[in-house]
Structure 1
Amino acid sequence: MAFHRPKLPQLSRGDFLTDGGLETTLVFHQGLDLPCFAAFPLIMSERGKEILHDYFRPYLAIARRQGIGFILDTVTWRANADWGAEIGYSADDLADIQRRSVAFACHVRDRYTTPSTPIVINGILGPRGDGYRVGARMRPEEAQRYHSAQIDVFRDTEADMVTAMTLTYPEEAIGIVRSAQANGLPVAISFTVETDGRLPSGDTLESAIEQVDAATGSGPAYYMINCAHPSHFESVIDASGAWIERIRGLRANASELSHAELDVATELDPGDPAALGGHYRALRQRMKHLCVIGGCCGTDHTHIQAICEACAPLDAAPSAELV
């Protein structure tokens, strides 16, 4: 079934929020065991869906209070073939999980959307590899074939778009964008960076964005940065160039630790929510085109609230609380 997909509202009607660090919240705050850091098995049980609903609810409440939109992610960051197989899920299982994830997101959307808080259903893809390390580096053609397994499924759901999060090198992004284009799906690309502002592959953020745009006819609707603290990439954003205007979203980590340090951490580093909000405020002053604001590892709804309080453009007419 083909679904009509209107223009993405986050590109035309102001700020949109996202959630924070789903997996770190579930593991460190709720004590859940997520095999391979995969949250998608929760979608298979009623109790799991209750946990996910309780997780998203405070973020939706913040968006409602601010009177702004919300981008609601599916819980499918680890639902690709390699990670799925590692924890015992077949290709058919994963396709079913994606459809269930979109259906769950649609249920939440239908319950909580308002005229001032539109909700975008965002099909999430993760890297084939770790997300902190490059590992084997696919060519764009291989990446397109690999990620089409997920994108083909999202095409036939009510997902409004897809976003590839925590990508570590440009060739994988090129393949994902080409697959999304072939399926008629809007796509956003989110790179992660190390403490020096470069991708784990060593590519600069500027080079990665320019490579993807050149290879896809500026295919992504926009780019994002996620899974890095603002202090890791603020100096890069000080540069000039059209590529910076292609970055429309930020989902930063709470912690200033490096990927290597976070990878071996046994306790959550929540950082300083107020300080994180200050970083976002400073970045927004330089990047007037930012429209998607959220968090990543170590952040929860308290960080998102602090970011909203720090960023004046997010202060809109208040609306009713969620019930």
Structure 2
Amino acid sequence: MPAVMAPKYRNHLPHLDPNRKPFLAEGGLETDLIFRKGVTLPHFAAFTLLDTPEGTQTLRDCYTPYIHLARRHRTGLILQTPTWRLSEPWARRLNYNEPAEKVIYASRESVELLESLRDEFETEETPIVISGSLGSLADAYKSTHDTSSLNGPATARSQISALAAAGVDMLALMTTSSPTEAIAIIELARDAGLPITVSFSLEADGTLLGNREFGIALSHVDGATDKYASYFGINCAHPSHFLPVLRTMHPDQRKRIGLIRANASEKSHKELDNSAVLERGDVEALAESYKEICELLPRVMVVGGCCGTDEEHVAAIAEKVLGKIEED
């Protein structure tokens, strides 16, 4: 493992400042690459593009519109590394001969790419936080993956160690549906000395896979980890799926939700999995729903998009949450 790089914002993540307006995040990187840019991504693994200079440039081109959008809104930006599928189990499924080495290499390349963007575009008004993206070790849309074989520290520690060594400012477990997995990953983040957010994927009825109640899951994870997570999030679900749940959640649970990255489409995960076309949904209606979400949640710190969304969706969301851009 190479020497650990010093992250720029590890001890003072700027989006946690209660005096700052919400930061932006990207839209759905993988669906954008597959459906709009015609890129083949086996198992939705965007990190595979780092294998070639052309692929790396494609990733760079995906991130830059969001940087420009954040700068126009005079707010910060959370850039996620394209490493959602980079754990060793997924690297083995992708037939890499040396999965452990691939995790180290792709983590370093991912962070170097985002650092180059930060060096070029960051301003005092627009700080750019590099977030190391972690995904579920199984398929979060089909398995509750609560078994120790999938959630043992050995299967995720290598990726977290690699991202920490590469110099990420924080970690983000995205699209999990398992409180057990969330607890295990949070403890690994604590061991690595990195802040972390955990974002859950919800079903069309607003529950976690297996009919588990979202609010109870948040309280359970917080109780088991002494509230180590900086905040929780919701991603890969349409607001129509989770707004009814937010309206009835306990205020203390709502205070712990700081990230919203919704899907463009109202379709279920199963319907989206079986769709051969991009489901972009209603851009304006999606953005409008973010207004109510932010009224319900007192500590929203990051807004962006997930499956089916792109810079147009995030621009519309930003206008509803942050207001119209004031031209100089």
Which bracket does the TM-score occupy, shorter chain normalised?
Answer: over 0.9
The answer for the alignment partner of 2:41 in structure 1 is: 34
Is 1:64–1:117's contact at 8 Å kept on the other side of the alignment? yes
Q: Say yes or no: does 1:248 pair with 2:255.
A: no
Q: Say yes or no: does 1:48 pair with 2:55.
A: yes
* Cα deviation 1:286-322 (Å, max 9, x = unaligned): 21311100000000000001111222x3556557xxx
Q: Say yes or no: does 1:286 pair with 2:293.
A: no
Identity of aligned residues (%): 39
Q: Which residue identity is paired with 1:10?
A: H
Q: 2:234 aligns with which of 225, 236, 239?
A: 225
Q: CA deviation at 1:133?
A: 1.7
Q: CA deviation at 1:114?
A: 0.6
* Cα deviation 1:80-139 (Å, max 9, x = unaligned): 111111112221112111111111111111111011100000000000111212254234
Q: CA deviation at 1:144?
A: 2.9
Q: TM-score, normalised by structure 1?
A: 0.95
Provide the rounded CA distance (Å) in 2 between the counterparts of 1:228 and 1:98. 27
- Trace 1:1-323 onto structure 2 (pairs within 5 A): 1-2=3-4, 3=6, 5-12=10-17, 13-89=20-96, 90-139=99-148, 142-239=151-248, 240-311=250-321, 313-315=322-324
Q: CA deviation at 1:43?
A: 1.4
Is 1:67–1:317's contact at 8 Å kept on the other side of the alignment? no
Q: Which residue identity is paired with 2:211?
A: G
Instruction: Give the paired residue count.
Output: 318
Provide the rounded CA distance (Å) in 2 between the counterparts of 1:136 and 1:117. 38
Is 2:208–2:214's contact at 8 Å kept on the other side of the alignment? yes
Q: TM-score, normalised by structure 2?
A: 0.93
Q: Which residue identity is paired with 1:166?
A: T
Provide the rounded CA distance (Å) in 2 between the counterparts of 1:113 and 1:307. 21
* Cα deviation 1:123-164 (Å, max 9, x = unaligned): 000001112122542349944332111111122122000000
Provide the rounded CA distance (Å) in 2 between the counterparts of 1:314 and 1:209. 30
Q: Which residue identity is paired with 1:43?
A: L
Deviates more, 1:230-239 or 1:81-90: 81-90
* Cα deviation 1:149-208 (Å, max 9, x = unaligned): 111112212200000000011000000000000110000000000011001132111111
Segments of 5+ residues of structure 2 without an aligned counterpart are: none
Provide the rounded CA distance (Å) in 2 between the counterparts of 1:10 and 1:318. 23
Provide the rounded CA distance (Å) in 2 between the counterparts of 1:68 and 1:315. 13
Provide the rounded CA distance (Å) in 2 between the counterparts of 1:254 and 1:142. 30
Aligned to 1:156, the other structure's residue is in SS state helix
Provide the rounded CA distance (Å) in 1 between the counterparts of 2:219 and 2:152. 18
